[in-house]
Amino acid sequence: MEQLTLPKDFFFGAAMSGPQTEGEWKSGGKLENLWDLWSNLELDAFHNRVGSYGGNDFTRRHNEDFQIFKDLGLTSFRTSIQWSRLLDEDGNVNPEGEKYYHELFADAAASGLECFVNLYHFDMPAYLFRRGGWENREVVEAYANYAAKAFELFGKEIRCWFTFNEPIVEPDQRYQNGVWYPYLHNFNRAKVVQYNISVAHSLAVAAYRRAKAAGLMREDSRIGLINCFTPPYTRENPSEADLEAVRMTDGINNRWWLDLVTKGELPADVLDSLASRGVELPIRPGDAEILAQGKVDWLGCNYYHPERVQAPSREVDESGCPVFAEPYVWPEAKMNESRGWEIYPKGIYDFGMKLKNEYPELEFFVSENGMGVEHEWDFRDAETGVIQDDYRIEFVREHLAWIARAIADGANLVGYHYWAVVDNWSWSNAFKNRYGFVEVDLEDGYKRRLKKSANWLREVTKTHTLTVEEGK
């Protein structure tokens, strides 16, 4: 057995988002976002026909959740402001939305918790989607206006700001892989969205720096970006073509964002490869100056699973999208069958080493990590009613172990937010896979109940020590 220690000032917290928890989708002047629009249009697309409306009842129960966070030894949590709640269709502040977030942040502070705020979590307001969403540069400008308003309104209340959560996901899920509404399969449009989000991020950072210079923000405030990062892996003894697949996967998913937030530019080799495959990005004169302002103070890394790729067997797919890589299934992979995601805790260590070597100045924290399991009630203890989620304890322990090792080996890694300390709504999967240390009982008015793992977590946050099998 190996004993590992996390630094004293290493922080633990909860990751969440507005659209997955708030509920109250129609009250307080909130406008429809894309999730509400899709739920209204096609409820069958959601697991058990549970649309976006309910969240996990956080709006009514947030003080109870804050007490749970405190009890588990967490000191911070992240949520997102919903653009569709804060602003009206003309880009003006919705007073009820403003009040909603002031109260939420005040309640968090009163509970002794720090609230990190993210500005966008896949939740495009529907009226802006109808105007072209991220493909329209006017929507990019509207986002910059929204960000500036948020800094102005809440700059004295919030220390840690983030422009986007996982900016690679919407281009993939909505525009390229056709998984989320509006189900597109268009690589060019996906990359236009990726590019425009990069511009939007940079404009928001510029607005933040202006707000700070004008004295509107807390002195100790900072801004960052959150993405799902993982160094891509390939087969043993790779061919040149396998390595090329790694270069482009790494280029589009990781380096694109890492270069943007550390150097204020996009990787030239990736832009060249995209151009050579006919991809046209909507680059405007003056964009280089905008992107140059995209440098951040720190980074959030969401890590659930590794990415394994190999050389593609075809140049384009059936929709005509260029294929740069194909999935590689590692014969030794250990899977979380519910989610279809590989469990590979060492990926977090490898990412820490990648940052240490290639972006040494950049501080980061693990901003999401977690295990979603279907039919968790099968694990409920008949007598106590407590879900015996030993698999979650093992999952988190092994990830924290690799975090401790990364820190010992020089990674600039300062904290850990677990995704969904309290079970919440997860997009089209709704409540299918449960992530929480705390169960939400949908048949009992969203009642919260601690799972076995909650008691384990409390010990870890108290002692900052872990006992793991050697090398696990």
CA dihedral 308, 434, 223, 157 (to 10 degrees): 180
| Binds ligand FCB (CB under 6 A): choice among 172, 368, 376, 389 | 368
Classify 171 as helix, strand or coil: helix
**DSSP assignment letter at 387:** B
Interaction of residue 166 with ligand FCB, rule CB under 6 A: yes
Minimum distance, C-beta of residue 339 to ligand FCB, in the bound complex (Å): 8
Number of residues written out for the chain: 472
Q: Which residues of 320-345 are buried (b: 16+ CB within 10 A; e: fewer)?
A: ebbbbbeebeeeeeeebebbebbbbb
- How many positions of this chain bind ligand FCB (CB under 6 A)? 10
Nearest to ligand FCB of 126, 420 (CB atom)? 420
What mask of x and - would describe binding to ligand FCB in positions 136 to 165, judged by CB under 6 A? -----------------------------x
**Catalytic position from the list 22, 166, 307, 342:** 166
Is residue 166 annotated as part of the catalytic site, yes or no? yes
Residues 7-26 that bind ligand FCB (CB under 6 A): 17, 20
| Binds ligand FCB (CB under 6 A): choice among 426, 430, 456, 460 | 426
A 10 A CB-CB count for 447 gives: 13
Which residue number has the CB closest to ligand FCB? Answer: 426
Question: Which residue stretch of 30-38, 87-95, 134-142, 419-427 sits at the interface with ligand FCB (rule: CB under 6 A)?
Answer: 419-427
Minimum distance, C-beta of residue 430 to ligand FCB, in the bound complex (Å): 11
**Cα–Cα distance between 216 and 238 in angstroms, integer?**
52
**Cα–Cα distance between 186 and 200 in angstroms, integer?**
21
- Burial of residue 444, with CB atoms counted within 10 A of its CB: 0-12 exposed, 13-18 middle, 19 or more buried: exposed
**Cα–Cα distance between 128 and 5 in angstroms, integer?**
47
Minimum distance, C-beta of residue 85 to ligand FCB, in the bound complex (Å): 17
Minimum distance, C-beta of residue 19 to ligand FCB, in the bound complex (Å): 8
In this structure, are residues 393 and 400 in contact, taking their beta carbons and an 8 Å threshold?
Answer: no
Is residue 368 annotated as part of the catalytic site, yes or no? yes
What mask of x and - would describe binding to ligand FCB in positions 275 to 314, judged by CB under 6 A? ---------------------------x------------
Interaction of residue 419 with ligand FCB, rule CB under 6 A: yes
Minimum distance, C-beta of residue 368 to ligand FCB, in the bound complex (Å): 6
**DSSP assignment letter at 332:** T
Token reading at 149: 């308003």
The residues that touch ligand FCB, with contacts defined as CB under 6 A, are: 17, 20, 165-166, 228, 302, 368, 419, 426-427
Catalytic residue numbers read 166, 368
